[in-house]
Amino acid sequence: MNGMNMNKVISKMIIGSGSLFFLQFGIDASAVEGQINYKMSSQGTREECVALNRMPYALYTESDLKKEAALCDIDFYSQQVALCPKVKSTSPGTYVYSLEGLNINRSEAMKSCKTVDDKAKRLATYKQTMNQGNTSATHSISSLLYYHLSRYFQTHFYVPVSVYRTMDKIEHLELVTKKARGTGMNAAGWDWLKKAEENPAVYNERKLLFTEDYSQIYGVLLRARGERYGSYFYGTRESGWKRQYEDLKKAPPIVALMADVGLEEAIQKGTEAIARSSLIRKEIGSTPSRQQMVSWMQDWSEIAVLDYIYSQQDRIGNTDYVWAWAYVKEGEVQFKSVDKGYRELSREKMTSLQAQPLKSLKPPESIAAFNPTLIQRTILGDNDAGGLGRYGNPTKKFQILEGIKHINAEFYLKLQRLADDFRRKDELYHYFHQSFDLQPKDFQALVTNLKDAAAILESSCRNGQLRFDLDTKEFMAQGFSEEKRVNCRGEYPSIQ
């Protein structure tokens, strides 16, 4: 049976009271398509966790599948799980903690979430949509869009695994929402969520927040990690929120990416851009390695395309990293995070520590033979301001794609194949149309953005303004990467 039609007749796994059952249903009532794991609320409401069907041509690792399963195994009502309101940043959400091994019961833990945050392991973050007055724009399905498309492109940056999850609105109201004490836009978001959970009629976009019968809210579960990048990655933001993409164009990786010169000279131009800002000089610490600059360039070239397609309006300041050893093994770039205490250090602190003979900053013996390079690996975990056509899409407004002069050849070809598939309304088109429960106007915006993104880069290619020389794998293996010859229209059979 075609995986995209699994909602017609699907095997559903129901886990409860230690027993495992497999049932057949003629119609799948879930708003999205995939393998459904049911959980029961304290009030007897049947909640859903859905690991979406696999995107055609995408590659999912064994680790991805295990993480999906682990997220869907989380029981919001277990005595070993605590739910706490996320009052950090601008958008409301729910932190999900494990209480295993802690001498504290669930009730006490949820009365003192600050203590839990300091001591307990965070299993996941639960995010729902919120787009009301004075709130920070968030769209939960956006995280699913980024996760699955990143597996199609096999992006150089990492997008955390995410799954669809519903929750009884009254349970969420009593256990989480009423306890939230945020400030600013975060407080406004919680206030709107409280009103909506008490009376869904007050919320003017109910389909983006509630299940069809309004008995449950829905969102995504994911476990993001990493530390926020500094001005050296996304610019100083001196021009304010509305024009921060002008500052982005002055960030070292973007200066390099938009340099109409060969790769080596582009790397040098990116390095030279550091000296033009005292804030960037301070935050970047030491001059980044050539491998780091190429890695950042490839990250940004790919981030810009996904952000353009999804009308992402809140990327700058919402991009993370972890320090990792990057090396090439069996023809692929692989990453091994440094010891836990050092993964999220700032570049300033890491620069200082690298000068000291710390064992933790040396490559582990298991990978030393591969000559690994210590870099900041980009983590794209905060993707919840995309997927709605009305979002601002500053990547389009400030013509970031038009400025790109370097790109990975395989990524470019996959983009052209995706656009061609959508033109023909083939299997990728149908996967997007059926899998993410997008409203018609939002799906049409995605279709238009994809067509335009592919056309912009194809035009740059035809005009001789696009170099296919960003290959971090090759660069790390041999210290340089050769410019590839690519048919601008795209030769899809060459993509595996």
Q: What string of pLDDT tens digits covers the 496 residues of the chain?
A: 333 333 332 333 333 333 333 333 323 457 899 999 999 999 899 999 999 999 999 999 999 999 999 999 999 999 999 999 999 889 999 999 999 999 889 999 999 898 888 889 999 999 999 999 899 989 999 999 999 999 999 999 999 999 999 999 999 999 999 999 999 999 999 999 999 999 999 999 999 999 999 999 999 999 998 999 999 999 999 999 889 999 999 999 999 999 999 999 999 999 999 999 999 999 998 899 999 999 999 999 999 999 999 999 999 999 999 999 999 998 888 999 898 888 999 998 887 776 665 555 788 899 999 989 999 999 999 999 999 999 999 999 999 999 999 999 999 999 999 999 999 999 999 999 999 999 999 999 999 999 999 999 999 999 999 999 999 989 998 899 999 999 999 865 554 4
Say what the pLDDT of residue 6 is. Answer: 34
User: Whose CA is closest to 171, among 37, 75, 71, 31?
Assistant: 75
Q: Tokens representing 406?
A: 């370097």
Q: In what order do the strands lie in the sheet with 162-168?
A: 19-25, 10-16, 34-40, 46-52, 162-168, 216-222, 121-128, 93-98, 81-86
Q: What is each CA distance from 219 to 169, 192, 445, in whole angstroms?
A: 12, 16, 21
* Cα of 373 vs its chain's centroid, Å: 24
283 φ/ψ angles, rounded to the nearest 5 degrees: -75, -25
Q: What is the SS3 assignment for 219?
A: strand
Q: What is each CA distance from 124 to 9, 70, 82, 221, 381, in whole angstroms?
A: 30, 10, 11, 6, 12
Say what the pLDDT of residue 52 is. Answer: 98
Say what the pLDDT of residue 400 is. Answer: 98
Say what the pLDDT of residue 137 is. Answer: 87
**43 CB contacts (<8 Å, ≥6 apart)?**
168, 170, 171
Say what the pLDDT of residue 332 is. Answer: 85
Contact 438, 387 (CB under 8 A): yes
* Position 94, amino acid: T
**266 CB contacts (<8 Å, ≥6 apart)?**
256, 257, 259, 297, 405, 406
User: Whose CA is closest to 23, among 35, 33, 39, 11?
Assistant: 11
Residue with token string 């690991």:
51
Say what the pLDDT of residue 361 is. Answer: 79
Give the C-alpha separation, 193 to 131, whole Å: 10
46 φ/ψ angles, rounded to the nearest 5 degrees: -85, 110
Give the C-alpha separation, 249 to 246, whole Å: 5
Q: What is the SS3 assignment for 24?
A: strand
What is the pTM (predicted TM-score) of this model?
A: 0.92
List beta partners, residue 50: 36, 164
**227 CB contacts (<8 Å, ≥6 apart)?**
320, 321, 322, 343, 344, 345, 346
Residue 333: CA count within 13 A, CB half-sphere: 23
Give the C-alpha separation, 485 to 479, whole Å: 20
Residue 108: CA count within 13 A, CB half-sphere: 6
List beta partners, residue 321: 227, 378
Give the C-alpha separation, 383 to 368, whole Å: 34
Say what the pLDDT of residue 496 is. Answer: 43
Burial of 321 (0-12, 13-18, 19+ CB in 10 A): buried
Say what the pLDDT of residue 360 is. Answer: 58
Give the C-alpha separation, 486 to 402, whole Å: 18
Instruction: Kindly give the pairing relationship between strand 10-16 and strand 34-40.
Output: parallel
Burial of 437 (0-12, 13-18, 19+ CB in 10 A): middle
361 φ/ψ angles, rounded to the nearest 5 degrees: -100, 10
For CA atoms 72, 76, 78, 84, give the dihedral sign: positive
Q: Tokens representing 259?
A: 């340099």
Question: Which DSSP state fits 483?
Answer: P
**430 CB contacts (<8 Å, ≥6 apart)?**
4
Give the C-alpha separation, 121 to 101, whole Å: 10
Angle between helices 290-310 and 440-462 (to 10 degrees): 140
Give the C-alpha separation, 41 to 48, whole Å: 10
**What does the chain come to in residues?**
496
User: Whose CA is closest to 195, among 210, 211, 213, 212?
Assistant: 210
Give the C-alpha separation, 54 to 57, whole Å: 9
Say what the pLDDT of residue 44 is. Answer: 94
Question: Which DSSP state fits 88?
Answer: S
For CA atoms 387, 390, 392, 394, give the dihedral sign: positive
Contact 301, 404 (CB under 8 A): yes
